[in-house]
Amino acid sequence: MQSYDVVISGAGLAGCSAALTLARNGLRVALLDKARFPREKVCGDGVTAASSTILNDLGVMELLRQRSGAMMPFRGVTLFSPFGTVMSGRFSATGLQTDESYVISRSVLDECLVSRAREHDHIDFHEQTAVDRLIMDGRKAVGLSASSGEFYGRFVIGADGAYSPVAKNLKIVNHDKNHHAFAIRAYFSNVEGLTDSIELHYEKSMLPGYGWVFPAGTMRANVGVGLMTRFTDQRGLKRMFGRFIADNPLVAGRMKKAVMEPETLKAWPLPLGSFDAQRGRDNVLLAGDAGSFIDPVTGEGIYYALKSGRYAAEAIARAIDEKRDEQVLRHFETLWRSEFLRRIYSPGYAIQPFLANRFFLEGLLRYVSGKQHRANLMADVIGHNRKRSELYQLFNPFFSGAFRKLLRL
């Protein structure tokens, strides 16, 4: 019987972040994943400076820098309204973050994280090991049953994606279309007009979702479309992607000579953080997509996966240090709710209907684009370089006192 302090299902961003943090605290970890690495992971690939800071702390940025062309830095955000208004903001040098933002393929990023996990003496990494179910002793989980055997642990973390078998076992699965999104992306070569900014294109048929063009190399881009199922049926996602490439006047001309890279057109679900549920039960915690840790406005998941994995590890380390294992879920809930739910997820869900209104969005982007410092603030907030509350305060001309109260300002 293999026994550990913590058994983790999923070796993506959240799972590796948790494993490496736990191992630093001297805890023995089993890290399981059904895939063989490197493996493809469908994503927009935008790594903000806040994510870079965590990756730097985990020793992953060092590995990425050793790979030529693995990281494409971006230094701003350009937003396009449904009526053609353009807001171009740059990241400030005086914000919360000191690291840079990059577009990094998830296959490369996740492989580097796994490499760090493989190196650590306190982590046993098992790839091609598909988790089937929790092993229970009464109400308490005592491990995971997987394709290569049983792995026992004092705590369990489910970091195994939107279709998490651990979350399914716990019956904590986000099926609510009001708190869900879907996205589709492909890689293209020979894309013209790319800059050092990521692009978000808000089209009337997508709102409050958007299309994106992220520079992923010389004349190479990650291009995609994301939809909020609260407002738009995801069954039209592939058709909408095709229209975005072919008909958007600010995109189509630059894609005339572009070539879609084979087998890169993939779609995936985005369980949003506004989903109202605990992220675990007893001694089992959920992190990353398994726990619905995705921004309900931007659809970003990388930062929240890394941070929720770290929070899960911190909650476990604290419970062990206090010799009160039964408090681990309370510690985890306190950590993520205080930073994510109150400041990001609940306000983001509240603002979705406003962003779904093209006239409101047009007025907003005209106002923000009118002054460069406003545009820079918008970019900084998207890049986690400034607090989102600062952006809401900037929007005073558009928000009534009642709405500001709803956003808890």
As a whole number of angstroms, the distance between CA 146 and CA 167 comes to 15
| Residue 260 CB partners (closer than 8 Å, separation 6+) | 186, 187, 188
| Residue 68 CB partners (closer than 8 Å, separation 6+) | none
Q: Could you tell me the domains of the chain? A: 2-73+99-175+273-345 (3.50.50.60)
CB 342 within 8 A of CB 387: no
As a whole number of angstroms, the distance between CA 210 and CA 270 comes to 14
* Each residue's pLDDT tens digit, 179-236: 999 999 999 999 999 999 999 999 999 999 999 999 999 999 999 999 999 999 888 8
3-state class of 324 per DSSP? coil
Please determine, for residue 15, whether its predicted confidence score (pLDDT) is greater than 90.
yes
As a whole number of angstroms, the distance between CA 142 and CA 29 comes to 14
The sign one gets for the Cα dihedral 133, 134, 137, 139 is: negative
3-17, 65-79, 389-403: least confidently modelled range: 389-403
> What's the average model confidence in pLDDT over 153-170?
97
pLDDT confidence of residue 139: 86
Please determine, for residue 400, whether its predicted confidence score (pLDDT) is greater than 80.
no
How far, CA to CA in Å, does 404 sit from each of 83, 296, 342, 391, 392? 26, 18, 14, 12, 8
- In angstroms, how far is CA 62 from the centroid of its own chain? 21
